[in-house]
A and B are shown apart, each in its own frame.
Chain A
């Protein structure tokens, strides 16, 4: 694997399968009396969150702690960022404190990439969601959940499985990362959204697109519902919420048209009544709570694979030849 995890596109099929296999071994840890492994003892993981998050931040924190790393949580609210500090100065502070990995969520697409390639920090950078760009660990945990339910018995990929990603694709970093990763793993992805919420240039993505949810559902092996991100919307993308949920929401009637083995996923946070009804969210087909459980194992796998080994990259000298201008 590379030193950073910035995009689902960085992962080759071998990389992705290595993460999923490692996560499968680590998931059994949850059943042990002592849920801790010593692999990252003495390493420091900084959770750098410029945007709100519940699941992702807690999940990364639990993952790092279960691997015995020291965790520093940084939320932009209540930090010097609210006084006007730049990303660069924040990064230099982290570097001075000796962070081995920075898990970053930022409202601006590309912020993790900037952090990783600007030379401000030497640590590994993990993208925990940047703007409307990517959220690779979410895609990995979704792929992990999919392989557990639909994967070949030998733990292999998702070859030929059909996954429908439905809703606000335009603003969704989860959709983009999933489209890239699931395609790498051999699945066929169909994006379903109203024309106004389909990203520009979606024709170049490795996916099919549709505006008609009812036509896609009977063929799908899994349906991934996306939240309508109203905080990123400043205009009329659809006439009314009611009309949206009538055309693109998943309710009991639509769920009944799914195949028997098909599962329903949602990256969270859900808006019940909007993109998904409560009876669907709480139905036995829904694996939404399991996705959260799997998130910890997958993030442990990512941190372990990025951090535990020797640093063999050329740009990080093994000897402390410090004093280079940071």
Chain B
């Protein structure tokens, strides 16, 4: 799920902070250890971030893997725009970079990294995109925030924080490099707006 990168809901008025910079750092460190534990080491791992904010997360996880195990895990990015199921519901979108590491993904364990897991449709698109690039031995999913409300049978293997939300709330992830600081915030529905109609807008 791309945490709506537009609408720079100005950082001061930006709702309730649920994860600050240190929380995010701790979550990523734990995820990194879990990946190593699950994979029994760092062999044949490839980290693919889903743009835009999955990419810096993947890079940070790779740094931690390097610090813990002393291995260089290839990091890339995977744009799923062309594989989305809602292409025809919105104006055409700009593509974001896809960068597959030189070794490819065939026979390796790919860990997809994204910021927020929501409906699961982005991950469905990512699985389709992976299928056109190669045949990984296994695909895992790491997300910083799981906010629930799945619409497809998809789950994350590694979760930074489970965040129960209502459909009308908005979760926005800001990361240094893309944004000015590290923070995960929840914004409620705009006051004076009917919840029913607001919900569908936020979900798209």
Contacts and interface: CB of A to CB of B under 8 A. Distances in A.
A119 to B, nearest CB: 23
Interface in B72-122: 79, 81-83, 87-98
B180 interface: no
Contacts of A305: 92
Contacts of B81: 39
Contact of B94 (A21, A37, A307, A310): A21
A22 B95 CA distance: 6
Interface stretch (A27-35, A187-195, A230-238): A27-35
A38 interface: yes
A12 interface: no
Contacts of B91: 309-310, 312
Given A21-B95, A26-B95, A32-B133, A38 B90 contact: no
B5 interface: no
Interface residues of A, number: 23
Nearest to B128: A38
B41 interface: no
Contact of A310 (B90, B97, B98, B132): B90
A22 B82 contact: no
B11 interface: no
Interface string B16-45: 000000000000000000000000000000
Interface in A1-35: 1, 18, 21-22, 25-26, 28, 32-34
Given A309-B88, A310-B88, A25 B93 contact: no
Nearest to A36: B132
Given A34-B132, A38-B83, A18 B94 contact: yes
A308 B88 contact: yes
Main secondary structure of the interface of A (DSSP, over half): loop
B79 A1 contact: no
Interface in B128-172: 128, 132-134
Contacts of B132: 32, 34, 36-37
A304 B98 CA distance: 17
Contact of A25 (B88, B92, B96, B134): B96
B194 to A, nearest CB: 23
A21 B95 CA distance: 8
Given A33-B134, A38-B128, A25 B89 contact: no
Interface string A142-177: 000000000000000000000000000000000000
27 contacts: A1-B92, A18-B94, A21-B94, A21-B95, A25-B97, A26-B95, A28-B98, A32-B132, A32-B133, A33-B133, A34-B132, A34-B133, A37-B83, A37-B132, A38-B83, A39-B81, A39-B82, A39-B83, A304-B82, A308-B88, A309-B87, A309-B90, A309-B91, A309-B92, A309-B93, A310-B88, A310-B89
Given A34-B132, A39-B82, 4 more contacts: A1-B92, A22-B94, A25-B98, A38-B83
